[in-house]
Amino acid sequence: MWIASDAEAAEGQSTAPAEVAEESLFSVDTGIGPLVYRPGRGLQVGRTGLNIGGFATLELQKERGEDWQLSVDGINFLVLLQPIQPLRLFMELEVGNLFQVDLDDGEHESDPTANFQRLYAEYGLSDALNLRFGKFQTPVGEWNLVPAEPFTWTTTEPLELEAFDEHQTGPMLYGSFFPGDGTLSYWLYGQIQDFDSESDEDPADHSAGARLEYSSAGDAWSVGSSFLAATRDDRWGYVGGLDAVWRRGPFELSSEFLHTWGPLDNPVRWDVFVQGVVEVFPSWFLVGRYEHNAPSGGGADLDLGDVGVVWKPRPYVIFKATYRFADHRSEDVFEGFKSSLAVIF
């Protein structure tokens, strides 16, 4: 149903409400070749192998018990350079916290920040063997492969993402084999040094992980498993998980399960979600997700529900509205209404 964008292709296939336009908005001949801009694919700079694109996000939210908030959540610039065919350099620079206003009292603030969400070089020897080095998304489950706003079905994220670091900085080996009509993909990776973490993050000192995924012909379904071991302050913690995606016609069903053990900060004993998507009209989708979170340390289990709608007036323009509710209050969990307008440029 979906065509992978350059951002998705840079990390691997992902289930996401983002398409790209095949037609060009403009094309100009130059001495280095044509400058071609396609909405959702960015600007192709002649024969240099350089492509520049990105996305911007506007958010409106009403958390339970709080005022309405409108914010320019951020602008992400995606830069892909392929100077020679086997070599690829990729960068995702996020400029966030641009502007936020309280719609009830008019108070506003702006505290722009910039950091690299992804920054790596990779060399492709074959489909089965690729080497990457730099900062990249942690390949645990399907969701975290490409968790940016245009590439997810809801404005809220599953709680399972709190169980591990969103990024890794170090080496990765990955590739795909093609047994029969299916595709068997693997990722082997580790963190050797933290790089450009955000102010509210406390990344692990070192880590090592692996992921294995099998996809059927035509990506009608896939199953995957993930494992991650990480150390922080000389203490080891572990994350293991299973995930699956099934697609048929206008329907899509996905699920992930994670189990965490060891003395990690704020560990999650186990966490599971099931999410369904259905296309009800052309370019209109209904989304629902159920999550169950069982924390360690004797805390109460938490059940969450997310219901929402997605509308794509253009392949590269995505509007989403989600309402999240929980079976009991938790200070660390967002409850309420959140919507976003994302434009891929």
- Say if 86 falls within a structural domain: no
Q: Which residues contact 315 (CB under 8 A, 6 or more apart)?
A: 18, 19, 20, 21, 39, 40
Q: Given CA atoms 57, 61, 63, 66 in this order, what sign does their dihedral have?
A: positive
Dihedrals phi, psi of 299, to nearest 5 degrees: -70, 160
Q: Which pLDDT does position 295 carry in this prediction?
A: 77
Domain extent, residue 111, equals 55-74+97-344
Categorize the per-residue pLDDT at 47 as very low, low, confident or very high, splitting at 50, 70 and 90.
very high
Q: What pLDDT is recorded for position 267?
A: 57
Would residue 62 count as lying in a domain?
A: yes
Q: What is the CATH number of the domain that holds 315?
A: 2.40.160.10
8 Å CB contact between 62 and 68: yes
pLDDT of residue 298: 63
Taking CB atoms within 8 Å and a gap of at least 24, the contacts of 211-218 are 211/139, 211/140, 211/186, 211/187, 212/184, 212/185, 212/186, 212/187, 213/184, 213/185, 213/186, 214/182, 214/183, 214/184, 214/185, 215/13, 215/182, 215/183, 215/185, 216/181, 216/182, 217/181, 217/182
pLDDT digits (tens, 9 = 90+) for 290-331: 999 987 666 788 999 999 999 999 989 999 999 999 998 877
What pLDDT, on a 0 to 100 scale, did the predictor assign at position 131? 98
Give the model's pLDDT for residue 208.
Answer: 97
**Per-residue pLDDT tens over the stretch 113-162:** 999 999 999 999 999 999 999 999 999 999 999 888 899 999 999 998 98
Predicted confidence at residue 28, as pLDDT, reads 87
Buried b (16+ CB within 10 A) or exposed e, 99-110: ebbeeeeeeeee
40 found inside a domain: no
Distance from C-alpha of 179 to C-alpha of 220, rounded to nearest angstrom: 16
Taking the C-alpha atoms of residue 58 and residue 223, their distance in angstroms, rounded to an integer, is 33
The reported pLDDT for the residue numbered 300 is 82
Residue 136 inside a domain? The answer is yes
Residue 61 maps to a domain: yes
The answer to whether residue 41 is domain-embedded is no
9 domain residue, yes or no? no
Contact between 238 and 228 (Cβ < 8 Å)? yes
Average pLDDT along the chain: 89
- The pLDDT assigned to 268 comes to 61
For CA atoms 44, 45, 51, 53, give the dihedral sign.
Answer: negative
Look at residue 199 and tell me if it is in a domain.
Answer: yes
Q: In 53-120, which residue ranges form alpha helices assigned H by DSSP?
A: none
- What domain count does the chain have? 1
Contact 165, 138 (CB under 8 A): yes
The rounded distance, in Å, linking the Cα atoms of 277 and 2 is 13
